[in-house]
Amino acid sequence: MKLNDHEIYVYVGSYAEEELPGIYVYAFHTVTGSLRLVEQYAGILNPSYLTIDKGGARLYAVSEGDEGAVVAYAIDPETGSLNRLNSQLTLGAHPCYVSLDPRGQHIMVANYTGGNVGLFPITDEGIGSVAANIQHEGSSVQLDRQEKAHPHSIVTDPAGNYVFVPDLGMDQIVVYKLDANQHKLMRENSVSVKSGAGPRHLVFHPKHAYAYVINELDNTIIAYTYNSQQGTLAEIQTISTLIDSIVEVSYCADIHITPNGNFLYGTNRGDDSLVVFQINESDGTLTYIERISTFGNFPRNFAIMPGGKFILAANQNSDSIITYAIDQETGRLTVVGEPVEVAKPVCIKA
């Protein structure tokens, strides 16, 4: 949301006790890449993932606890401030992801520990009662992390017809058909990944029929072609996020593509880096460009700012946000400014 000619509002979710600030509002300068704190909000436990509607009128936040919830806020278009509307239980423990369908009619939630996904209608009051609640069942080879289903994200395809749920515990990407009129999710198919990979987040290419999933446990990204008529994915490449790294233990987290579709980025927690790939638009394959330190510990989510010129990366365990300038020709990253201190930042949305 635009604040003035050179600033937009940015929202940061974090791990925090309910009585402490958990959601932060910053003004981001689109020319210099600087951040300044505007407001901060308590009253929600562990708002670890956020999403904002296309018009910038609403913000939705998960409350990642044993009794999971999702909370709706109205955004003041002038000040960027938040006014809490209502909340709904997610019917599962530790919701870790919330997203909207492109039509702006529903929000969708993935409950990591609960193993279930939910669909909620959007109402004038905020969030309506749950319309669909689907339990995943399954496991895979890493018994400490894949002992049961763990859906880690939930996103629609660009047309809003199919819903994709990377399930870390099952080593599958589960695909649902979205019936927006009937408020239903109907299981359509699933895509298995390599055993022990642990699929986490998925992103679609902004221009072409490609999709990419980042795998938390084996530190890889899989590139797919996407059949939008059938809602199916076909693998075309698997590539490591730790090329040239010597770290022994690391876990992937987030994945995003620049608005022009030229470059893809992912985070490594342990290696504590952002990895950069160029996308071949003719076939969807990835070519490694570089890895760059996040100059902090355990980078969780990150955000490519509107316009595609900057990245903000959240270091969860070292309480900092790092700003990078994106080289528009090469995709390479350069740190700009000083780190911004914020307690346990894990999600950034603009």
Contact predicate 305/320, CB 8 Å:
no
Q: Is residue 8 part of a domain?
A: no
Query: CA-CA distance, 107 to 117, in Å (whole number)?
Result: 11
Q: Is 178 exposed, middle or buried (0-12, 13-18, 19+ CB in 10 A)?
A: buried
For the chain, what percent of residues have pLDDT higher than 90? Answer: 98
Kindly indicate the confidence band of residue 5, based on its pLDDT and cuts at 50, 70 and 90.
confident
Span 36-71, pLDDT tens digits: 999 999 999 999 999 999 999 999 999 999 999 999
Instruction: Say which residues have a Cβ less than 8 Å from residue 258's Cβ, sequence separation at least 6.
Output: 264, 265, 304, 308, 326, 331
Q: Is residue 61 part of a domain?
A: yes
Work out how many domains the chain is built from and give that number. 1
Span 336-348, pLDDT tens digits: 999 999 999 999 9
Q: Is residue 116 part of a domain?
A: yes
* CB count in 10 Å sphere of residue 123: 12
Contact predicate 14/343, CB 8 Å:
yes
What are the DSSP E strand ranges found in 130-171? 132-135, 155-156, 162-167
Residues of 102-119 as b/e, b for ≥16 C-beta within 10 angstroms?
eeeebbbbbbbbbbbbbb
Q: The tokens of 167 are what? A: 């399930």
CA angle 92, 95, 98 (to 5 degrees): 125
Q: Is residue 62 part of a domain?
A: yes
**2 has a pLDDT exceeding 90:** no
Span 215-257, pLDDT tens digits: 999 999 999 999 999 999 999 999 999 999 999 999 999 999 9
Q: What is the pTM of this model?
A: 0.97
pLDDT for 4 equals 73
Span 151-194, pLDDT tens digits: 999 999 999 999 999 999 999 999 999 999 999 999 999 999 99
Contact predicate 277/291, CB 8 Å:
no
Q: Which residues pair with 176 in a beta bridge?
A: 163, 187
Question: Three-state SS for 316?
Answer: helix
Domain limits for position 116 = 44-131
Q: Is residue 75 part of a domain?
A: yes
Q: Is 232 exposed, middle or buried (0-12, 13-18, 19+ CB in 10 A)?
A: middle
Q: Is residue 165 part of a domain?
A: no
Kindly indicate the confidence band of residue 1, based on its pLDDT and cuts at 50, 70 and 90.
low
Span 318-340, pLDDT tens digits: 999 999 999 999 999 999 999 99
Q: Is residue 90 part of a domain?
A: yes
Report the mean per-residue pLDDT for the chain.
97
Q: Is residue 196 part of a domain?
A: no
